[in-house]
A and B are shown apart, each in its own frame.
Chain A
Amino acid sequence: MAAKPKLHYPNGRGRMESIRWLLAAAGVEFDECFLETKDHLTKLKKDGFLLFQQVPMVEIDGMKMVQTRAILNYIAAKYNLYGKDLKERALIDMYVEGLLDLNELIMHHCIQPADKKEQHLATIEDKATNRYFPVFEKVLKDHGQDFLVGNQFSRADVQLLETILMAEECKPDILAQFPLLQVTEWTVLMSFKARISNIPTIKKFLQPGSQRKPPLKEEDLPKIMKIFH
């Protein structure tokens, strides 16, 4: 019987969090080996476990997979969360890539110098509410279905929920905004959020005690930086 996937990363969100979300949503149990020190990372490198000397690394199905997108693509395809054909896959990829861009922006917030933080937050808010969320609100509104693509749960839905929750951590009422130029309330996204949060595997992941990681606290940043630099 196949062993559980094993995740190698520091004990925080970073680039591993989307992978945790996808495995959890697919109902796949996984183990985690947390990198706590630079020596730990050095050992992984010396042992030849990291193809490009980087984490995330996930041991899965006899492979030591690296590169976040490669890992996400593999998990999504393996657990049928990647659409039923090339065209659905194309749509899923477009949505996911957009969301990963927004995720990346949010992820970088914690490393902004103090004098740039406020402006960066404004950028996140602007991009979320003007560039990204309107797309998904419209997609869901136009087809009226529960899921983004192909009337079936996919990695795009998982990624959208993850990103909505991350954006809300930056600005709790981000989904209840009335953007200046539009009189729109993100009603469809709000109901999407509630619906997807209630999917049993996801509901479990959202509960305390799961392997979901909290946002990075400022005081924990130096420790993380020390591992990588």
Chain B
Amino acid sequence: MAGKPKLHYTKGRGKMESIRWLLAAAGVEFEEEFIEKKEDLEKLRNDGSLMFQQVPMVEIDGMKMVQSRAILNYIAAKYNLYGKDLKERAWIDMYVEGTTDLMGMIMHLPFQPADTKEKNLALIIERATTRYFPVYEKALKDHGHDYLVGNKLSWADIHLLEAILMVEECKPDVLSAFPLLQAFKGRTSNIPTIKKFLQPGSQRKPPPDEKSVANVKKIFNM
């Protein structure tokens, strides 16, 4: 029987969080090995475990996979969360790339100079409410289904929920003008695997704090 996937990353969200979400939503149990200091990263590099000397790295099905999109694509396809044909896949990819761009802005926030924080935060909220959320609200409105693509749960839905929750951490009422996204959030959060992941004690990671940001900077020489 195949071993559980094993995730190698720091003990924080970063580029691994979407992978944790997807595995959890798919009901796949996984283990984690945390990089706590520079030496841990060096060891992975020296062992030849990291194709491009970078994490995330996920040991899965006999592979040491790197590059978050490669890992996410593999998991989505393996667990039937990637649509039923090329065209559905195309829509899922477009939606996911949008939420990736939005979450990327939030991910980078703690690493920007302190005096740009307020401006960057305002830009995130502006982009969320004028560029990204309207797209997903409209998609749900146009077809009236519970899920973004193909009337079936897919990676796009899981990623959108993750993005919504992340933006809400920046501004709790950010969904006020998006009734369908509010309903989507409620509905998707109640899917059993996702509900479990949202409960305390799961492998979901909290937002970064000052200490974890400082540690990440040290480990990755930022």
Instruction: Determine if B145 is an interface residue (Cβ-Cβ < 8 Å).
Output: no
Chain A min CB distance to B18 (Å): 14
C-alpha gap A211/B132 in the complex (Å): 32
- Smallest distance from the beta carbon of A4 to chain B beta carbons, Å? 18
Chain B contact-residue range equals 20 to 34
The residue in chain B whose Cβ has the minimal distance to the Cβ of A73 is B93
B77 at interface, CB cutoff 8 A: yes
For chains A and B in complex, what number of residue pairs have CB atoms within 8 angstroms? 76
Provide the main secondary structure of the chain B interface.
helix
Task: Judge whether B94 is part of the interface by a CB distance below 8 angstroms.
Answer: yes
Query: A67-B98, A131-B52, A135-B52 in contact; A93/B73 too (CB < 8 A)?
Result: yes
Which residues of the other chain, B, contact A61 by a CB distance below 8 angstroms?
A: 87
A52 surroundings in chain B (CB, below 8 A): 98, 101, 131-132, 135
Q: Is B51 an interface residue (CB 8 A)?
A: yes
Q: Given the complex, which residues of B lie within 8 Å of A53, measured CB to CB?
A: 131
Q: Is the CB of A132 within 8 A of B52?
A: yes
CB of A124 within 8 Å of the partner chain: no
User: A3 near B: Cβ within 8 Å?
Assistant: no
Most chain B CB within 10 A, of A51, A68, A74, A101, is at A51
A interface, CB within 8 angstroms of B: 51-53, 61, 63, 65-70, 73-74, 77-78, 86-87, 89-90, 93-94, 96-98, 101, 131-132, 135
User: What would be 25 A-B contacts, judged by CB atoms less than 8 Å apart?
Assistant: A51-B135, A52-B101, A63-B90, A67-B98, A69-B97, A70-B94, A70-B97, A73-B73, A73-B93, A86-B74, A86-B78, A89-B74, A89-B77, A90-B73, A90-B74, A93-B67, A93-B73, A93-B74, A96-B70, A98-B51, A98-B52, A98-B66, A131-B53, A135-B51, A135-B52
Please list the residues of chain B having a beta carbon within 8 angstroms of any beta carbon in chain A.
51-53, 61, 63, 65-67, 69-70, 73-74, 77-78, 86-87, 89-90, 93-94, 96-98, 101, 131-132, 135
